């Protein structure tokens, strides 16, 4: 597995989460592109799983938070990624962060930035 494959897998999963609706104001985000244009990211993605040693049997996976214009914090999580695939992605992240000498959270931020750049540079449909 390499970074291009990781970006492709994660982007495809996240795009499948749309359309979404803000539970507070009812704003509808038709696509990931619409979500990225309209919301504001908060910090780097968060990973609560401890992945420095063995992988957890049922990892939560990364979560990314963004604010809706109404101020509500929205979360994009990895909850729907099949466990085996999520473990494979987290194993790659652990190994790659070690190889790059960066914290896992920074690596996740870099992956999110790549996905955002791809989505925002694509013609809107």
pLDDT tens for each residue of 31-70: 999 999 999 999 989 999 999 888 899 999 999 999 999 9
- The DSSP H or E segment spanning 63 is strand 63-67
Q: Where are the alpha helices (DSSP H) in the chain?
A: 3-15, 32-38, 83-100, 104-121
**In angstroms, how far is CA 32 from the centroid of its own chain?**
11
Tell me the sheet residues that pair with 46. 63
Q: What is the pLDDT of residue 123?
A: 77
Cβ atoms of residues 17 and 125 within 8 Å: no
Output the pTM of the full model.
Answer: 0.91
**Dihedral sign of CA atoms 52, 54, 56, 62 in order:** positive
pLDDT in tens, 96-114: 999 999 999 999 999 999 9
């Amino acid at each position: 597995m390499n970074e291009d494959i990781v970006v492709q897998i994660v982007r495809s999963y996240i795009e499948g989460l749309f359309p979404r609706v803000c539970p507070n104001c009812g704003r509808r985000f038709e696509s990931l592109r619409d979500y990225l244009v309209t919301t504001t990211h908060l910090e780097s993605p968060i990973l609560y799983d401890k992945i420095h040693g063995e992988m957890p049997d049922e990892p939560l996976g990364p979560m990314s938070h963004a604010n809706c214009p109404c101020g509500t914090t929205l979360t994009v999580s990895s909850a729907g990624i099949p466990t085996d695939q999520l473990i494979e992605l987290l194993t790659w992240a652990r190994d790659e962060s070690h190889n790059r000498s960066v914290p896992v959270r920074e690596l996740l931020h870099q992956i999110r930035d790549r996905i955002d750049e791809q989505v925002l540079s694509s013609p809107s449909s």
